[in-house]
Structure 1
Amino acid sequence: MIRNIFLFILMICFLNAEPVNVSEAFKINEKAHPSGISFDIAIDKSVYLYEDELKVFLGSENITKILNLPESKKHKEYLIYDKNFTLFIPTNLILNTSNEKIITLKFLGCAYDGYCYNPQNLKFNLSKTENGFKISKIKDKKVSNNNTNYENKISSDIKNNNFFITVITFFGYGLLLALTPCVFPMIPILSSIIVSKCKNSKNSNKKAFLISFIYVFAMSLAYSIAGILATYFGSSVQGFLQIPWVIILFSLIFIVLAFSMFGFYELQLPASLQSKISKKSESKNGLIGVFIMGFLSALIVGPCVAAPLAGALVYIAQSGNLVLGGSALFIMSFGMGMPLLLIGLGANRFLPKPGYWMNEISKIFGFIMLFMAVWMLSRLISSNLSLLLYGVLGIFFGVSLFPVKKDSAVFKKFKFGFSLVVIIYSVILIFGFASGSNSLTNPLNNTFKNQLKENLNFKKVSNLNELKEVVRGSKKPVLIDFWATWCVNCKELDDALNSAEISEILSNFELIKVDVTKNSKDDLELMKEFQIYGPPALIFFKNGKELQKYKVIGDIKKIALAKNLNEILNL
């Protein structure tokens, strides 16, 4: 079974064809002559340059229009250069200014197959000598720490620190991620597994911890393998597992588990097979299923891309060191699973003893499984319809909590009060659905309805070429939002973007939305271009240049986002 899972993951990964490297696509050879400076530009046969994006600056002065440029040709609606040519700057033009000069050559090119390169900005130092001029290319300065985004800093930490420090650091990152939505969905799953596996066990606490450890180990292994494969093959494994039929299948699994908890049937292996397994190793019975559940839960239930994860993936992509990068991913995931291990350690405190309580707790976990099924389906259906499903399910849950004769007097009051609250809130959710609301926390406020379409005017692009065109033609700063329907954090980011204070600032930006829900070839190419391994992510451009410092991977607070947006406007 496990082998088949790995084969499935490998099968769905594919390797995108690499475009010609920019240094090979456009070869620039600068030369100094007594009569002036020349730039021999060799253009690969698979690419071309945009005529209106070719600019030459002498100091701060744009001298492009006074140079002798080659004849361009029309490609679609644009004029381009696709043949080798030479730019020549005569001596008399250079002598009109001071002896020390900076020549800047700017251009933008694309491949005929649709791939577009980042805008190029090459600088050359020009100085006067006794026999004419001397020209030398100015090497790109390394970006300082102040100008790098968080995931690149983390990638640098892996590269510069020794193995032990890296492991400790990423374990700490994992502990921080334990406080994010990455882990929360797995808590009820693990809890229900512990309840079902330990209800008749004499050493329930030891077995509960063993179950938790195997679950967390499998979860860590899944994150590590998926991360390495995603980087190595240039695709998002987790994204592939968010396709609709997989989500529906997993939702059905939760429903099947829920009805098992309700006592309608009991899920178990055939008696003959159970007997064989028990004879070989009683302690291992059922643990393979826990491992598989932990592995799949990490990939399907808890999709999470945050800066530490992205940092490790960036490092693997840039260095090719799968061992160190994979180890960092595994240790980080293990740190992320610490709350789950704590559940196993304290299992004896919440596990019900045989009898009436066992049935009550099993029933509660059954409803938790049903809520998990709705939560999974919410990635495919509208937020408004999700309110209806939560509301209807909540009413049934509330009714099931009504006190019975076996309850003590005190607990009868508690159960009645709690069930009443659940039913009232569920009714409010249904009213919220009827009024068109999309908010689970504020269902009676329908101002969230169609918020994205009404408040913010996002342009949708479907491939890298379209994105390059929009960025190239924009006179405003550009915000690119990578988004997917199955991405839980994306919905939280949408709320932040649509808040009054943020949406007002965004009126000064060109807004682009990239929907990577389907993980198509174009989606993967877009994510690969910006080294993004899953949504949510925000990319910023200004004057045609990407602002790496302000790149956002994962969640971001409104205050920090507002600060970044204002800084970009003032650049």
Structure 2
Amino acid sequence: MISFFRPCDKLVILYSKNIKFLFYLDKCIKIPPIIFNKRLNLIRNIFLFILTICFLNAEPVNVNEAFKVSEKANPSGISFDIVIDKSVYLYEDELKVFLGSENITKILNLPESKKHKEYLIYDKNFTLFIPSNLILNNSTITLKFLGCAYDGYCYNPQNLKFNLSKTENGFKISKIKDKKVSNGNENYENKISSDIKNNNFFITIITFFGYGLLLALTPCVFPMIPILSSIIVSKCKNSKNNNKKAFLISFIYVFAMSLAYSIAGILATYFGSSVQGFLQIPWVIILFSLIFIVLAFSMFGFYELQLPASLQSKISKKSESKNGLIGVFIMGFLSALIVGPCVAAPLAGALVYIAQSGNLLLGGSALFIMSFGMGMPLLLIGLGANKFLPKPGYWMNEISKIFGFIMLFMAVWMLSRLISSNLSLLLYGVLGMFFGVSLFPVRKDSATFKKFKFGFSLVVIIYSVILIIGFASGSNSLTNPLNNTFKSQLKENLNFKKVSNLNELKEVVRGSKKPVLIDFWATWCVNCKELDNTLNLAEISEILSNFELIKVDITKNSKDDLELMKEFQIYGPPALIFFKNGKELQEYKVIGDIRKIELAKNLNKILNL
């Protein structure tokens, strides 16, 4: 039941289940009926929205509260009391008891199950008893079960182990605690996935917003800054309220970006594939590069991009404020998927949680809020737009020209996923030469600004020449283009074995006498190229000489690629998986940003295991 107040109620209570709002009105409030009804409707809708969110995101009970297991030993045998919360149930066919390696479930006296949908379940407390005649020697008892909540949430499979030993008075039983390996770069995505499960909705949302703020400082967001800036410049040329419109554009762009990350993440876990991977196929990248080139020449003033006059008039009649904002939304949505595909530990953690629990609502909300946190720098650009947006006149032309070149650099950056890093240096160098020349001072510039422009253009031209020299010498590094001209700290490429399917990978792992490093890689993955440089550093490659190196190229997102990604719960590159003695070392698995120092430490730890 929900009640709402009238204008002259003294005491007002709004409640629903366990949520209660209390208002005390000291005086009667006289509000004209029309205004009151509008405000009442607004207040009612806001409260209904808040309550709906609260109820939709009600957290299921913790797994330890949902299924309480207590063990007892006596001369006649071992008993397990299993207390099941009223909101959850256990699947009958998933309840298994092992004595050592032998499954003894069928010979035990199990409680009567009941039918729920098409499954048989237990939803009442019961006791499992193992008689002493089954227990011959000291052994281990393993209790396995799987349960779900009635509201649809399913828990991870539970695997409880107990040590059992005979004593003079009967038996002694003790629970075996899970052993966790602690290392400098623990499997963050699993830790984060666990955080979502164990925290309530609002703590999870706040935590993921914080993760998003941290990701805002990574290359995930940087490519979007020039795109959004150029959109703001073009949309606010003739606007009187530049600041308000710029912020609105930024907000819509970030909202679309967040929505894209959420949808892509949910679909990736639901279908077991990377949506971003599908959008990294060559023709999509080439098309987007062409769009940047078209936008660039528009900024140079060769033409003006606008809708036909007839469509413009129709749109303006409906709402002037909406004109062009749909395009901003589409650009933000596509930019997130195509320009900035980025998989980091927080993102991977949310994806692991969604995949394991099936809770799309909480996982999707975490993804959305994290993405919104990532977009905070973009919102700041909108807030400060009034300070950096040029006024009409000569300055406007100069700024538009700069953004035009930024769009061209973005086009080359997109194409660098399809061409060699060496050829990318040539394109950057040639484009940089034209950019530097275009910055030379002109008569209209003030004396101070002439000096600044001359100095800046000189720096751009010199660095562009260095890039071209780097191309000629065979370099691949944009930040260190002369690494092939002088003595480099990079060694020759490491000897990676390439595998194309899961069976082939398993064979290589089984046959290896060394620890195995598996590198998930794609041509469109910018962070993968950074990882390549890290792996080829002298101090890292020296350690890697003791490993069997395997590279898995998931560029095509083929059926075999998807099978490999699903096997290791990877939703995008880069990712490093480690094996030793045929067993996966999950605690050393790394996804996303891989730092040199932590990587070196972990490689040494794996060798010493």
TM-score between the two structures when normalised by the length of structure 2: 0.73
2:422 and 2:475 in contact (8 A); partners too: yes
In 1, the alpha carbon distance for the partners of 2:450 and 2:490 equals: 45
C-alpha displacement at 1:490, in angstroms?
0.7
In 1, the alpha carbon distance for the partners of 2:63 and 2:506 equals: 15
Deviations 1:330-384 (A, max 9, x none): 0000000000000000001110000001010000000000000000000000000
In 1, the alpha carbon distance for the partners of 2:559 and 2:50 equals: 17
The alignment partner of 2:427 has SS state of helix
Distance 1:453 1:129, change over 3 A: same
1:57 and 1:104 in contact (8 A); partners too: yes
Deviations 1:92-145 (A, max 9, x none): 9999xxx64679999999999999999999999787899999999999778899
- Structure 2 counterpart of 1:48: 89
- Report which stretch shifted further, 540-549 or 141-150: 141-150
Deviations 1:62-85 (A, max 9, x none): 999999999999999999999999
2:578 and 2:584 in contact (8 A); partners too: yes
2:183 and 2:602 in contact (8 A); partners too: no
Distance 1:248 1:7, change over 3 A: farther
1:224 and 1:329 in contact (8 A); partners too: yes
C-alpha displacement at 1:556, in angstroms?
1.7
- Report which stretch shifted further, 414-423 or 44-53: 44-53
- Structure 1 counterpart of 2:296: 258
In 2, the alpha carbon distance for the partners of 1:266 and 1:463 equals: 49
Distance 1:221 1:92, change over 3 A: closer
CA RMSD of superposed structures (Å): 9.9
5+ residue gaps, structure 2: 1-41
- Report which stretch shifted further, 139-148 or 199-208: 139-148
C-alpha displacement at 1:468, in angstroms?
0.7
1:489 and 1:536 in contact (8 A); partners too: yes
C-alpha displacement at 1:477, in angstroms?
0.8
2:59 and 2:200 in contact (8 A); partners too: no
> Does residue 1:94 correspond to 2:154, yes or no?
no
2:226 and 2:406 in contact (8 A); partners too: yes
C-alpha displacement at 1:181, in angstroms?
0.2
The alignment partner of 1:454 has SS state of coil
The alignment partner of 1:425 has SS state of helix
Deviations 1:247-288 (A, max 9, x none): 000000000000000000000000011011111100110000
2:409 and 2:428 in contact (8 A); partners too: yes
1:12 and 1:240 in contact (8 A); partners too: no
Distance 1:66 1:160, change over 3 A: closer
2:491 and 2:537 in contact (8 A); partners too: no
1:114 and 1:464 in contact (8 A); partners too: no
- Report which stretch shifted further, 455-464 or 324-333: 455-464
C-alpha displacement at 1:455, in angstroms?
3.9
Deviations 1:161-197 (A, max 9, x none): 0011000000000000000000000000000000000
In 2, the alpha carbon distance for the partners of 1:9 and 1:515 equals: 45
Alignment of 1:382-461 (within 5 A): 382-446=420-484, 454-461=492-499
C-alpha displacement at 1:233, in angstroms?
0.7
The alignment partner of 1:45 has SS state of coil
- Structure 1 counterpart of 2:588: 550
1:13 and 1:235 in contact (8 A); partners too: no
Higher relative contact order (CA 8 A, sep 6+): 1
C-alpha displacement at 1:446, in angstroms?
1.5
2:59 and 2:201 in contact (8 A); partners too: no
Distance 1:446 1:94, change over 3 A: farther
C-alpha displacement at 1:454, in angstroms?
3.4
C-alpha displacement at 1:445, in angstroms?
1.8
Distance 1:15 1:398, change over 3 A: farther
C-alpha displacement at 1:417, in angstroms?
1.2
In 1, the alpha carbon distance for the partners of 2:548 and 2:151 equals: 26
Q: Structure 1 segments of 4 or more deviating over 4 A?
A: 1-95, 99-148, 447-453
In 2, the alpha carbon distance for the partners of 1:389 and 1:335 equals: 34
1:116 and 1:465 in contact (8 A); partners too: no
- Report which stretch shifted further, 554-563 or 180-189: 554-563
The alignment partner of 1:121 has SS state of strand
Distance 1:83 1:489, change over 3 A: farther
Distance 1:172 1:217, change over 3 A: same
User: For the pair shown, which has the larger CA radius of gyration, 1 or 2?
Assistant: 2
- Report which stretch shifted further, 302-311 or 554-563: 554-563
Q: 1:242 aligns with which of 254, 265, 280?
A: 280
In 2, the alpha carbon distance for the partners of 1:5 and 1:436 equals: 62
Alignment of 1:90-239 (within 5 A): 100=138, 149-239=187-277
Distance 1:8 1:412, change over 3 A: farther
In 2, the alpha carbon distance for the partners of 1:331 and 1:554 equals: 19
1:438 and 1:449 in contact (8 A); partners too: no
The alignment partner of 2:578 has SS state of strand
1:305 and 1:554 in contact (8 A); partners too: yes
Distance 1:202 1:77, change over 3 A: closer
* Residue correspondences, number: 568
Deviations 1:503-540 (A, max 9, x none): 11111111111111111111111111111100000011
1:15 and 1:233 in contact (8 A); partners too: no
2:426 and 2:468 in contact (8 A); partners too: yes
5+ residue gaps, structure 1: none
1:457 and 1:511 in contact (8 A); partners too: yes
Deviations 1:217-251 (A, max 9, x none): 00000000000000001110001101100000000
1:481 and 1:512 in contact (8 A); partners too: yes
In 2, the alpha carbon distance for the partners of 1:477 and 1:82 equals: 45
TM-score between the two structures when normalised by the length of structure 1: 0.77
2:490 and 2:537 in contact (8 A); partners too: no
In 1, the alpha carbon distance for the partners of 2:566 and 2:53 equals: 17
The alignment partner of 1:37 has SS state of strand
C-alpha displacement at 1:557, in angstroms?
1.3
Distance 1:282 1:94, change over 3 A: closer
In 2, the alpha carbon distance for the partners of 1:554 and 1:250 equals: 24
Distance 1:339 1:26, change over 3 A: closer
1:178 and 1:336 in contact (8 A); partners too: yes
- What is the percent sequence identity of the aligned residues? 95
